[in-house]
Every structure is written in structure tokens, then in C-alpha cells.
Structure 1
Amino acid sequence: MTDRALEWVERHLADGEHLTGQVPLAGGWTSRMRRLTTSGGRSLVLRSFTDAFFLRHADGLLTREARVLTLLAGTDVPAARLLAVDARADHCDHPSLLMTLLPGAVCLDDAGAPARAGALADQLVRVHGLAVPAADRPRTYQAWTAPGRVRVPERTGRPEPWRRAIAAIDREPPAYRGRFLHRDYHPGNVLFAAGGVSGVVDWVETSWGPADLDVAHCATALALLHGPAAGLAFPARYTAAGGTLSPAPAARRYWYLLDALGYAPDAEKVATPWRALGRTDLTPAVLQDRLERYLEGLLALPDR
């Protein structure tokens, strides 16, 4: 963090309060995260975009996150409290957002994964249940892949599931009932403490769209982290928690495959921060095998 960022942060502290320390936070790949401590005993988080791609989109991403955090402040969703945002880097060397630190930690171990998946589903139902006035709704969701953009792994022993999955999303999106979506909901963006969810972070992609899309994204992540069965089981956990998915099996399969194919040809993008948090077992070979077996599982789901 540069002196310009430090000076900007200190302008948003309480009178007489100043920064006393900073440490990097691991687990992200889209931005640099810092935990800041103050003389008033507070712990804050500074998010800064430094990557060239995200610098181009930082204004929209950070402005959206600032609006969402403001909206969530009056709800029971455990989100950080917004303190300040410099989306265009008018005051910092990089576009930045300052917020409070949430309690808890990211938990990615296989041990305890089923119980955490249940808690993930419970929290996601609460997110989707938020009553958001039309004027405050975020943008309509954006698909993160398309049939012509899917890159099939060059070295795969399972080409047929890829071909079938691509064909299954080569259609108009199914009709859906719009919901407030986190849009990047997965175990890496959820904090746990005392066995329960203590925080949900990273709201830059918040969108309006089908609940199935959030469920699909979390399911894919669980499949990569813990094996295909964990991902395939997540939609049932969501409905057991009170959530509602598309009634048509073909529609649900479309959303699940659309998300899973967004990781093709591999899942290195998401696995890099997971490895930094201790999941060094998630090698490229393991991830490709799990992703392909997950695709096979989705394609084998019953039509009724």
C-alpha cells in the first residue's frame, strides 16, 4: 500500500485515530487486500485493483460494491460496512475501497465440508430473499461463457461430455424469476466462525437474475474443492433450506452447465488462491478430472 493510499485511509478515520499496521490478506485473485489496524483498536480492509484487466473495469466494479454494501447495511446479511471508495483512483495510486473487517475465516478443508455446505445454502437463501426495490436492483446478470467461447482441454480422455455440455447451452436462456444475486458466491467468499457463516465478501459482481445461477456457481466450486458429489448435492441443500429453483430440470441443467463451462479448459484461476490457503492438493490434473466428472454428473441428471 502506498503513502497516497495511507493518507486517503487516514482521512476517513475518526478524529485522533491513525493507522498502526497493515498485513496482506490471502485468498483473492482479482484484487490486493490489506488488513489495517488503527490506534482506536479497529481492524479495516482495503481492497485495491492493480491488475490491468480489473483496472479497466474498476470504476464500475467498486462503485457497484459500494452501492451494494450500503444496501446490505440495513439487512441481516453479514456484509462489511462501507467506509469510503475511490473507484477512479483520484486519491490513491489504484482504485480502492475501504470497509470494516468481518469476523471469521475462509474454510476450504474437506473436513467439515458437508456441514459448511448446509450453512452456505442457508445463507444463500437469505441473500436471494432480500426484498430489493426496483430502483435499487443491480444490473442484470452477465453470462461468463458461451458455446463459441468454451475451450475444451487439449488433453482430455473425455471429449464427449464436453461436446454434449456445449450443445446443451447452445440455446436461448430459460425464462426465470429475478432475484438479488451475489453472483460470485462460493466457499472462498464466505467466512466462518463458531461453525456458522460470519461474513459474505466480494460483492463486485452483484446482479439480478435466476437463483439457479448463484446455486450453480457455488456447486461448481464445491465440486472442484471436494469432488463432484459435493457439487451435485448442493442444489438439494439449497431447496431444503427453503430456496426455490427453476421448476424445469432442463432449465436447471442449463444454468449448472453454463457455470461449469466457464471454468474450461481448467480451473487454475480460482485454484490459485485456494492453494495459497492450503489446498495444495488441487493440482491441474485433479481439477480437470473433477470438472469433467462433474459435467458427466450434470448430464446424467434426470429430465423429470
Structure 2
Amino acid sequence: MVTNHDEAAVPPLTLAWVRRHLEVGERIVRTEALHGGMTAEMRRLTIGTRDGSTRDLVLRSFVDTFYLEHAEDWLNREAGALSLLTGTGVPAPGLVAVDPTAAQCEYPSLLMTHLAGRTILDDEGLEKRVPLLARQLVAIHALRPAERPRKYVALTTADTVVTPKGADAAAWDAAIDVIRRPAPPYDGRFLHRDIQPGNVLFDLPPQSPAGPRITGVVDWAATSWGPADLDVAHCSTNLALLHGPACGLRLTEAYEEAGGVLAAAASERLYWQVRDALACSEEVQSVAQPWRQAGRTQLTARAVEKRLDAYVTALMDALG
């Protein structure tokens, strides 16, 4: 028996596939839609066990036709990353099963363990969370897998940047010129490639003097090999758009304070920071929408554009 508490039930073929990967005597007793993601449909499945207790799994399915062409690659990369991360100390889900080509499910899908905690997008408590994000990035970049994931893919070009209405034209022109240059040399590192507040889970014990702690890092579908600067830049950009430019700039300092190593030359740091910030110019609406759905209703596309403009200008002032 399955009790569904979301609007769309798990499709029958996928449901049968999930059941085949449960332990003997287990059954699905509840499904719940999880919100906040951009590319895939996520559901938490509560599993009833033989002893009367429950455990949770997470089902990730690519159902949007826009993303289906990438689903096989993304799911294979995520499955590989989750397998690699087992036992490393990085708090990632455990892989249960994957069907990247929808051979057995209605849609390409991945089944994984559920992690405790929740995403936090509010401004309150930010000063304690930024150092935690920085330390988590350092731990991820310290991994040395036996087999490297594929090289990072740049997400924008100088010709595809969308300069926001009313932006500082001089700053944006200068920033676009920065990414016309060849990429600087770098020491390769294992990258999450989409580490940002929406993909990090926190535990907030009530009235705990120790403060929050990270309980999980999710969405490993874009795992890559490349410069640590690029992961830091991506998280910095997201922090700048969520909380303001100063927060984005602060992460870089926190990363180095945590022992992380970034490019030595300011011009090289600027390249990676600007490349990621400019990439967001092409998808402001898709970036802002999940944040509004999560309660940050003031983050309209226009508000995020203004923050992006302020952040690009701040980067050019600080490093340009």
C-alpha cells in the first residue's frame, strides 16, 4: 500500500522499480514531493520496515523534456560520485539504485538514502553558516578519486552574457572582456560544481551553543574536475544573490581561512569569479524562482538582477 501526500503519485513502472530495491518485508507507506530543485522532480519515500519502524529514501526523476537529453549523463555522474563519496566523511546520500536511461522506469531516475537536515536560505545566522560552507568546500576539494570525473564545462561565453537593464555598463563591459581571455592554468581538484545554499542541508539544534552544522550535501550530478576557484566562485555568486554582494566576497576569505588554496594572482581569481557571476545573467529567472517558492518572495527576477549587477561591480572594484 502506498499513501501519497503529493499531487502526482510515483508512476507505476518507477514504483515497481523502487520496490525491487527494498529489503524483504519493506513497503512504501508515504510519498512526499520535495521542492526547491530546478532540473529534476524529487520525492521523499517513507519506507515501512519489518520491525515496524520507518526509514526514508529520495527518488530523483528527470521528467522535464528540456532536461531529458542530459539525464543519462547527469545520473551516471551522480551515481558515480555517490559511490565515490561513501566513507570519505563528506556527508552525501548513499546510492541505492539508478536507471539513467529509463530502461525500467517511466523517466530516468535515481534512488538514494535520505539525509537529515534542511536547506536554509534566510539571512538570519548567515555569519555562522558561511564558514561552514567554506570548510565543506575545502573537504570536497581535498578528495583524490582513483578515477577523475570529466573536466568542468564553462557555463557562459563573452557573447552570451545578458547585461541587466540599468546595469553599470562600464563594469560589465570590463567583466566580459575578462572572460574573453584564455582560462588561467590551475591545479585540478574534485568539484561539486553546484555547491550553494540550496544544495546544503543544515541541522539547527534549538538553543544549541554550538550553532548549526552541515548534515548533507546533495545534487552531485555536475561533479567535475577543475579549479577550486570555480566551485568557490559558484557558491559566492549564489550567496551574493541571496544575501548581498558582501556575503559573496566573504566566502572567498572564509575558504582561505579554512585552509583552502585559490589562484595566487588577483587576475586569475577574477577570471573564475567573473565567469560564474556572468553565467547567472543568462538564467536569472530560473535561479530566483526556487528561492521565491522556498519563501524568499522578495527575490524577484528584477531584484536578483540588481544584486548581480552590484556583485559584478564589486568584483571588478576588488580584483579588477
Is TM more than 0.5 here?
yes
The one-letter amino acid paired with 2:152 is Y
Which AA in structure 1 matches 2:195?
Y
- Across the two proteins, how many residue pairs are aligned to each other? 300
Deviation by residue 1:182-201 (Cα, 9 ceiling, x = unmatched): 00010100000031100000
1:246 equivalent to 2:255? Answer no
Letter of the structure 2 residue corresponding to residue 181 of structure 1: L
Kept after mapping to 2: 8 A contact 1:107/1:191: yes
Residues in 2 aligned to 1:95 and 1:157: alpha-carbon distance in whole angstroms: 40
In the TM superposition, what whole-angstrom CA distance separates every residue of 1:64-116 from its partner, at most 9, and x where no partner exists? 10011000012100000000000000111100000000010000000001211
Q: C-alpha offsets along residues 222-275 of structure 1, whole Å, 9 cap, x if unaligned?
A: 000000000011100000011000001100000000000001155221111111
1:148 partnered with 2:159: yes
- Contact 1:162–1:295 (8 Å) recurs in 2: yes
1:285-304 to structure 2, matched below 5 A, reads 285-302=302-319
> What is the deviation of 1:285?
2.2
**1:163 is paired with a residue of what secondary structure?**
helix
After superposition, the C-alpha distances for 1:159-208 in whole angstroms (9 at most, x for unaligned) are 22211110111110000000000000101000000311000000000000
Contact 1:266 1:287 in 2 (8 A): no
5+ residue gaps, structure 2, are 1-9, 205-211
Question: Shift in Å at residue 53 of structure 1?
Answer: 2.3
**Pairing 1:30–2:39 present:** yes
Once the two structures are superposed, residues 116-153 of structure 1 have per-residue CA deviations (whole angstroms, 9 ceiling, x without a partner) of: 111000111000011222xx110000000011111223
Q: Which moved more, 1:50-59 or 1:217-226?
A: 50-59
Q: Please give the alpha-carbon distance, in whole angstroms, between the structure 2 residues aligned to 1:142 and 1:223.
A: 22
The match for 1:13 among 18, 22, 28 is: 22
Tell me, what secondary structure is at the counterpart of 1:197?
strand
Query: Which consecutive segments of 4 or more residues in structure 1 shift more than 6 A?
Result: none
User: Contact 1:266 / 1:288 at 8 angstroms: preserved in 2?
Assistant: no
In the aligned structure 2, how far is the partner of 1:152 from the partner of 1:268?
14
Q: Is this contact kept in 2: 1:266–1:284, CA < 8 A?
A: no
TM-score, length of structure 1 as denominator length: 0.97
**How many Å separate the matches in 1 of 2:200 and 2:179?**
29
Q: How far does residue 157 in structure 1 lie from its aligned partner after superposition?
A: 4.2
What does 1:226-245 correspond to in 2, within 5 Å?
226-245=243-262
- 2:67 equivalent in structure 1: 54
Contact 1:27 1:274 in 2 (8 A): yes
Residue 196 of structure 2 is aligned to residue 179 of structure 1: no
The residue identity in structure 2 corresponding to 1:11 is: R
Give the 5 Å matches for 1:256-267: 256-265=273-282, 267=284
Q: CA deviation at 1:302?
A: 4.2
Q: Is the 8 A contact 1:31 1:47 kept in 2?
A: yes
* Counterpart contact for 2:274–2:312, Cα < 8 Å: yes
Shift of 1:287: 0.7
The residue aligned with 1:85 is 98
**Aligned equivalents of 1:201 and 1:277: distance in 2?**
17
1:131-146 to 2 correspondence within 5 Å?
Answer: 131-133=144-146, 136-146=147-157
- Aligned 8 A contact 1:80 1:201 in 2: yes
User: Which runs of 5 or more residues in structure 1 are unaligned?
Assistant: none
1:42 aligns with 2:55: yes
Who is 2:240 aligned against? 223
Cα separation, 2, equivalents of 1:10 and 1:82: 15
Alpha-carbon contact 2:168-2:313 (below 8 Å) kept: no
Q: Structure 2: how far apart are the matches of 1:233 and 1:125?
A: 15
Aligned equivalents of 2:16 and 2:286: distance in 1? 33
Question: Bigger CA drift: 285-294 or 206-215?
Answer: 285-294
State the alpha-carbon separation in 1 of the partners of residues 167 and 142 from structure 2: 42
Distance in 1 (alpha carbons) for counterparts of 2:302 and 2:99: 40
- Matched-pair contact (CA < 8 Å) for 1:18–1:38: yes
- Taking every aligned residue pair, what percent have the same amino acid on both sides? 50
Relative distance call for 1:179 and 1:2 in structure 2 (3 A) is same
Contact 2:167 2:309 in 1 (8 A): no
